[in-house]
Structure 1
Amino acid sequence: MHILVTNDDGPPSNQSSPYVHSFVRSLQAAGHTVSVVLPHIQRSWIGKAHIIGKTLIPSYFRPGTLHKDDGVASHHPFEDGKEEWVLIDGTPASCVQIGLWHLFQDRGPVDVVVSGPNYGRNTTALFSLSSGTIGGALEAAVCGKKAIALSYAFESREHDPEIIAAASQVSQKLIEKLTQDWPEDVHLYSINVPLRNNVAEAKILYTNVLQNRWTTGSSFEEAEVEEEVDPAEQEKEIREGERNGTNGADESSVARRKQKRFKWAPKFTDVHESVRAAGPGNDGWAVKEGIVSVTPLKANFCHVPNIKGEIKLSSKTSISGDQILASSSMPKLYAIIDYPDPYVQPLILSAIRSELKDLDVELISSVQQLPSPASPLLQYRDYESVDFEHALDQPRSSLLCAYVVRKALIRKHYLSNTISTWLVKHPQSPLKTHFKAAVNFELDYAEFLDEALVDAWDLNDSMTRNEARGNDNGNKEWWILKPGMGDGGNGIRLFSSMEQLQSIFEEWERDEENSGGEQEEEKEEKEKVHSPSSGNKVPTSASYGGTMTSQLRHFIAQPYIDPPLLLPSRENRKFHVRVYCLAVGALKVYVYKEMLALFAAKAYQLPSHLEVDLSCHLTNTCLQDGPSREGSVARYWDLEDTAHGPDWKEKVFEQICEATAAVFEAAAREQMVHFQTLPNAFEVFGIDFLVDSFLRAWLLEINAYPDFKQTGQQLQDPLIGGLFRQVMKVAVRPFFDKEAEDNDSQGSSEMRLVRDIDMGRR
């Protein structure tokens, strides 16, 4: 589901808003898309108000560590595409309006609005009528959305993370159930959860709102003009009064005939006495008894009649927003879903919820939780965490998200060898015209470069020709150097002479010799993981980390593809196409039609023997920071038409499908040691292609566990979310539901089956 969250307590704060962060994390862990828009400061007791005549201004917030006040605020949106909450200098009701209609349209329609969790109960008429939490839900209801006001009734201002987490999980499951079974005459629900040790096992009842009144006088205390009241201390007094059932101010103060101010000091004894005097069945009584209260309301404060009784939640961990519950008629599937990227984790869970509706899916955290070793199990997790041994022991019931061995594809020097070996036996393969023949070599130290390249005839001949051409850049043959196991553009360099190639390795070794101490080592590690420290402009021999040569050892050199296809609307920046390929079993190969175009930081220029500005040549967006990332990612099918005609993208796509099918067949048939297909495994690969000016697609590299977050927020669900929905439909569902195998495994218009290879493994 897409859930919009607001509150009246403002951004996370241990003093005034201690629950919203935990609640949002619970929703996200359950696979929901969560959009957060909150008042920028506390707006308690403000009801459903809007501030007339005020122009509301958003600011932006990134939550920090759970239960710590270390979040980061900004007056401008964050530029890195990571999690971002919006803060509005208005009321909860205004936050709902702005959140629904102005902020999150790119995430799709909102399924339900949750206002809360409030710091304190919202039971009985006295609390409910003034509640900003309920006011936010009321605003959503009159906007035609399902709405839920959520409040936590605390008994201590010492926040227990375990109790808060349990309350958030109960709230998440309850919200899922209510949203699925929503009666037509209910406009909103008010939920009150008592924060007690047994909250996870607490009974849940439908209740009505207790009608009560202020009976002991004014809710304001007179204060002398000279008295300065600290708002934070006032807030603490009010919270203490609510917890203890006492009044929020000292009743012994004596009025004087002076200019006065009036401080908000509600008499909570009125509320607690009315609850004690009333019988069972109302919301106040339920919370007093440690029961979770669910009150169905209309958007005019009326209780919805004839909805009574206890609400039962599944004892199992359900990941479904549609509340998939245990059923004897549903096939059982256990799932370990722990993807190493928070950008991807909710998309996988959402895809399971969407595409595996007919399966009773239960999340577990380890294989040891299975009822028996043969129980159906899906593992979608980090490669190092996958239990391959269990899957190999249970090939008919255990499905993996990765092949055990696939280095014939994902290591550049292995990939080069895979293709060259295949072409010897299949010279007419599409790979002949879609992959640049490469020179593979091993090197420990720069001084041995000549020896390493003694058999590199094509490279040596090219360098000889370049030497004869002198400084004529226009006719030089440029080559590209790539570490065999590098990724993210790290270690890639251009060269056109042996001297330049030698200088690259010598520069890395000098950096290693000059570095010293732990600080330098840490700096080098950061450079390896992130981007060159000199900004976008990187000379051929730019520092990369001196240990790279001796540690990586394997390198390939290929003829540089020039000129590339350039698009005027994109400032003539070079780009490559990121393709997502799904390999299933032993072996079907699919290509996902939705693709990305990833652009270099600067307009393309011919490389020069004097200096190579890699920001013109490298299209890896992970090397780009700040403004240089602007406009670097686009949906492939949205690219402009070129002189090649309006159908150029379709032509390139067909080439991509041909080359992808051929390279997987080459690896499967010729490199069985280095690509071991399994009938109970599947894997998503990221494949990069470069399109030259003649409209030919060239295979660059294949990546396991590709970096999905480079897609950004705008395309997150339609492109990457759509990918995982197809993965569930094509790879996962047919494995566990044999009736769906024939239809789903044939692919679709979104996920094209490009090769079906029978490797004889079943």
Structure 2
Amino acid sequence: MLNVLITNDDGPLNDDYSPYIRPFVSNLLKFHPDWNITIAIPDVQKSWNSKAHLAGKDLTLTYIYTDLSKHDNSSFWGPFPSSIKGKLTQFNVPGNCIEWCLIDGTPASCVNIALHHLKPTTGSGKFDLVISGPNVGRNTSAAYITSSATVGAAMEAVITSDVKAIALSWAYFQGQKYVKNEGGILDIASRQSLDIISHLNHNWDTVTTDLYTINIPLLPSLSMDTKVFMAPIWENRWGSMYDAPVKSNLTIKAASSDIEDGSEAKETALVYHWNPNFQYHSNSRHGSKQRHDMDVVEAGDIAVTPLRAVFQMSSNVLTQGELIIDHPHTQEEKYNVVLSIDPKEYIFQPLRQAMSKILNNVSIFSRLDDPSLPKDGKLFHYGDYELLDMDRLSTDSTHYFANSYIYRKALIRKHYLSHTIHNYIVKHPESILNKAYLESYTIDLDYAEFLDDSLDENWELRQELEQSEESGKWWIVKPSMSDKGQGIRVFQTIEDLQAIFDSFDDEIDDEAPQDSLIDDNKIIISQLRHFIIQKYLTNPLLLPSMSNKKFHIRCYITCMGDINVYVYDRMLALFASVPFIPLDKGDDNNNGVEFNPTDLNILQSHLSNTCLQTHNKDKDLSVMEFDQLVDIADDDKLQIKKQIYDIAHDIFIAAKSVNSLNFQPLPNAMETFGVDFLVDDKFNVKLLEINAYPDFKQTGNDLKELIDELFLNVTKHCIKPLLDGGENISKEKNGSFKNVLSYTSNDW
């Protein structure tokens, strides 16, 4: 955070006297939000008094607040309490107003009071830089600079507090004193000024230079390509600033003791009318042909002059030549991306199109070892986890960026997720996770025959299962590290669970039809070992228009850096292939067939994962956009989404705060997770699981546009800000990409 004091000699916003401070401050706020600014300026125009103070005069400070988004110069008188941001609305003043400190003194006095009595509350508590200007007119040549209150205020900063200072002037031509912002010329002048100031601030020669003067020509040719030159002051001389005297009769009050007090005398006086001839200059000091500040500005270029605060030029101006300025906000950024995904993959084209659209000047490579890939600069790599350079991702946070964190087991492993949530709600029982995550237990198992031993080690689970029939609870078992619905079973008793694990150890049925659910859902216990036992939601929300099929919501949640979390508001509803069959052993709801935990035909009504529906002829109907569901009222949809936002907020805080070893968001990475939720018949949302590298093709062809928009958002709000150094972090509230969490590690 750079603490910056802004002053001038033209006073507050005024179309006739001070027309340039509005565009300058507006552009500063836009391009340098990391600058903390204080504005202290004369209450009226105070030009031509150099570095003078009004000796013996007490000065008064008043406040006004102005909305820079308007152009009528309307202001509100203050002061207002403490920080004005977000607190002015209670005074019927817009909350985005800028505070102006108006002092009835000279520019030098404004700087003196501000540096000693208006200290900033951020950073070191001291000002780092004083900007005096932009001044109406030029301050080139010795004849102007020695009388300039703009330069005088900058000198005061050096003399009173040894603070770096810059005097900024915008030169006009052909008598057009106040230039209008036609063609955006004042915006260009502002951006050029800010870029030059930023360059000087980062490359300051404190040994030879106290302050700089900058003169920018307000010519139609001014652009971001206008050259900038270091130039010495033209040590010119000029003649009379006044016309020849004329006689005038004045009435003068008595001033001597021999005249009665209060009496008056008529006297003849000579009056010299102010009429400087700025066209006349001489250079009597030397006849050098050296290019000076006046020459540079007259040629339509920008002049920068380093000074000592003793009206003496810095010695380093002897090294002359063009000063190369970086314009980070105007030059077209060059982006390099490695997209190491098979072009036949479902997401390849959406990703490539999004990057080409959002990253205007982008080169896309297919391999990280491509010899034509630039060796220097920033690189974003989007690819499968195994293809990312993890060593580089963990050590080079300024140049290498990727689409995955290294450690995120706290979220994507089901048993880790269960532990993460349990540990968090113990400390935060008020969290939405306390009611949004179903009762869960974890067990470790190598072979089916060891189930009894595993339950002995988890006696709470054993007690629950022994009482399940009496309590009416049903359970679902999930392998912690499987995906695409593999190994998921529904059961009620310990005997059911034993039968399920015994079936996993059986050989795959060679007679089962190809692509059957049996083959797709088979697992090997010894390869997975970790399982989660979770209470089964027996009252899911069912929709008549969808034949009362069970469904879950697939929501894409993207994390960027450490850590911003975005919820993609266009969610999917994934339906089971057959209508829901309530769980009740031997009930007529099962058509008189007793429930069998290993019968995968019954399981079809309880699993809504589209990966298991290869045999479903109506697969295109198994995925719909959530907002298009006609059986859910709009208010209920909003209630569901609000719960998802809150769950997303808390689950990522939980992972970072209680399981930081297994979730480490990196400043140079982002990742999109597929997060699954269930909704019960009371519209309560339950978190099911979080998937890394989700299967986007579950969306299907009819909803591919939804994925296209997702990657546009990801590129715009995550990838581009990462490459731009964290700038333009989105806080979008009403769009389809909602920022639900924006914290850093220090906040925990």
Report the TM-score, using the length of structure 1 for normalisation. 0.50
Aligned to 1:734: 721
The one of 664, 673, 678 aligned to 1:676 = 664
Q: Residue type of the partner of 1:490?
A: Q
The superposition leaves residues 105-160 of structure 1 with CA deviations (integer Å, 9 ceiling, x where unpaired) of xxxxxxxxxxxxxxxxxxxxxxxxxxxxxxxxxxxxxxxxxxxxxxxxxxxxxxxx
CA distance in 1, matches of 2:484, 2:444: 21
Aligned to 1:507: 503
Shift of 1:605: 1.0
Aligned to 1:617: 606
Aligned to 2:491: 495
In 2 relative to 1, CA 743–464 (structure 1 residues): closer, same or farther, beyond 3 Å? closer
Aligned to 1:389: 391
1:69-218 aligned at under 5 Å gives the runs none
CA distance in 2, matches of 1:353, 1:503: 53
In 2 relative to 1, CA 563–606 (structure 1 residues): closer, same or farther, beyond 3 Å? same
The superposition leaves residues 199-222 of structure 1 with CA deviations (integer Å, 9 ceiling, x where unpaired) of xxxxxxxxxxxxxxxxxxxxxxxx
1:400 and 2:402 aligned: yes
Aligned to 1:689: 677
Tell me, yes or no, if the aligned pair for 2:676 and 2:688 is still in contact at 8 Å. Answer: yes
Aligned to 2:617: 627
The one of 450, 453, 471 aligned to 1:451 = 453
Aligned to 2:599: none
The structure number with the bigger radius of gyration is 2
Q: Residue type of the partner of 1:444?
A: D
1:265-280 aligned at under 5 Å gives the runs none
In 2 relative to 1, CA 453–646 (structure 1 residues): closer, same or farther, beyond 3 Å? same
In 2 relative to 1, CA 370–432 (structure 1 residues): closer, same or farther, beyond 3 Å? farther
In 2 relative to 1, CA 376–727 (structure 1 residues): closer, same or farther, beyond 3 Å? same
The superposition leaves residues 546-599 of structure 1 with CA deviations (integer Å, 9 ceiling, x where unpaired) of xx1111000000110111000000000000000000010011111000000000
The one of 738, 742, 745 aligned to 1:756 = 742
Shift of 1:745: 5.8
1:343-382 aligned at under 5 Å gives the runs 343-357=346-360, 359-363=361-365, 365-367=367-369, 369=371, 373-382=375-384
The superposition leaves residues 210-245 of structure 1 with CA deviations (integer Å, 9 ceiling, x where unpaired) of xxxxxxxxxxxxxxxxxxxxxxxxxxxxxxxxxxxx
In 2 relative to 1, CA 678–646 (structure 1 residues): closer, same or farther, beyond 3 Å? closer
1:428 and 2:418 aligned: no
In 2 relative to 1, CA 735–576 (structure 1 residues): closer, same or farther, beyond 3 Å? same
Aligned to 1:636: 626
Q: Residue type of the partner of 1:345?
A: F
Q: Residue type of the partner of 2:743?
A: I
Q: Which has the higher mean CA deviation after the structures are superposed, 580-589 or 500-509?
A: 500-509
Tell me, yes or no, if the aligned pair for 1:730 and 1:745 is still in contact at 8 Å. Answer: no
CA distance in 2, matches of 1:441, 1:487: 18
Q: Residue type of the partner of 1:566?
A: L
The one of 334, 337, 354 aligned to 2:336 = 334
Shift of 1:370: 6.5
1:460-479 aligned at under 5 Å gives the runs 460-467=462-469, 469=470, 476-479=472-475
Shift of 1:606: 1.0
Report the 3-state secondary structure (helix = DSSP H, G, I; strand = E; otherwise coil) of the residue aligned with 1:684: strand
Aligned to 1:656: 644
1:585 and 2:561 aligned: yes
1:561 and 2:564 aligned: no
Shift of 1:363: 2.6
1:408-419 aligned at under 5 Å gives the runs 408-419=410-421
CA distance in 1, matches of 2:666, 2:734: 23
Shift of 1:510: 2.7
Shift of 1:401: 0.3
Tell me, yes or no, if the aligned pair for 2:549 and 2:577 is still in contact at 8 Å. Answer: yes
Alignment root-mean-square deviation, CA: 2.6
Aligned to 2:710: 723
Q: Residue type of the partner of 1:495?
A: F
The one of 578, 581, 589 aligned to 1:602 = 578
Aligned to 2:700: 712
Q: Which has the higher mean CA deviation after the structures are superposed, 682-691 or 362-371?
A: 362-371
Q: Residue type of the partner of 2:490?
A: L
Q: Residue type of the partner of 2:544?
A: P
Equivalent pairs: percent with the same residue? 37
In 2 relative to 1, CA 466–736 (structure 1 residues): closer, same or farther, beyond 3 Å? closer
Unaligned stretches of 5+ residues in structure 1: 1-327, 470-474, 536-542
Tell me, yes or no, if the aligned pair for 1:409 and 1:415 is still in contact at 8 Å. Answer: yes
Tell me, yes or no, if the aligned pair for 1:730 and 1:747 is still in contact at 8 Å. Answer: no
Unaligned stretches of 5+ residues in structure 2: 1-329, 586-593, 597-601
The one of 482, 486, 509 aligned to 1:486 = 482
Tell me, yes or no, if the aligned pair for 1:584 and 1:683 is still in contact at 8 Å. Answer: yes
Tell me, yes or no, if the aligned pair for 1:578 and 1:598 is still in contact at 8 Å. Answer: yes
Tell me, yes or no, if the aligned pair for 1:444 and 1:550 is still in contact at 8 Å. Answer: yes
Shift of 1:352: 0.6
Tell me, yes or no, if the aligned pair for 1:419 and 1:663 is still in contact at 8 Å. Answer: yes
Tell me, yes or no, if the aligned pair for 1:374 and 1:394 is still in contact at 8 Å. Answer: no
Q: Which has the higher mean CA deviation after the structures are superposed, 672-681 or 503-512?
A: 503-512
CA distance in 1, matches of 2:712, 2:566: 14
CA distance in 1, matches of 2:429, 2:459: 20
CA distance in 2, matches of 1:544, 1:663: 30
1:544 and 2:544 aligned: no
Shift of 1:339: 2.7
CA distance in 2, matches of 1:534, 1:381: 29
Shift of 1:661: 1.2
Aligned to 2:154: none
Aligned to 1:196: none
Tell me, yes or no, if the aligned pair for 1:590 and 1:747 is still in contact at 8 Å. Answer: no
Shift of 1:534: 7.7
CA distance in 1, matches of 2:717, 2:338: 19
Q: Residue type of the partner of 2:739?
A: L
Indicate the structure with greater helix content.
1
Shift of 1:372: 5.7
The superposition leaves residues 265-293 of structure 1 with CA deviations (integer Å, 9 ceiling, x where unpaired) of xxxxxxxxxxxxxxxxxxxxxxxxxxxxx
Shift of 1:394: 2.2
CA distance in 1, matches of 2:375, 2:665: 22
Tell me, yes or no, if the aligned pair for 2:577 and 2:616 is still in contact at 8 Å. Answer: no
1:571 and 2:547 aligned: yes
CA distance in 2, matches of 1:430, 1:369: 50
Tell me, yes or no, if the aligned pair for 1:330 and 1:360 is still in contact at 8 Å. Answer: no
Shift of 1:431: 0.3
CA distance in 2, matches of 1:741, 1:332: 16
CA distance in 2, matches of 1:461, 1:407: 29
Shift of 1:639: 0.6
CA distance in 1, matches of 2:440, 2:389: 36
In 2 relative to 1, CA 371–646 (structure 1 residues): closer, same or farther, beyond 3 Å? closer
CA distance in 1, matches of 2:719, 2:572: 24
Aligned to 1:195: none
CA distance in 1, matches of 2:374, 2:595: 63
In 2 relative to 1, CA 488–658 (structure 1 residues): closer, same or farther, beyond 3 Å? same
The superposition leaves residues 516-553 of structure 1 with CA deviations (integer Å, 9 ceiling, x where unpaired) of xxxx7xx99x99xx652489xxxxxxx824xx111100
Number of positions where the alignment pairs a residue of Structure 1 with one of Structure 2: 404
Q: Residue type of the partner of 2:468?
A: N
Tell me, yes or no, if the aligned pair for 1:479 and 1:559 is still in contact at 8 Å. Answer: yes
Q: Residue type of the partner of 1:352?
A: M
Q: Residue type of the partner of 1:565?
A: L
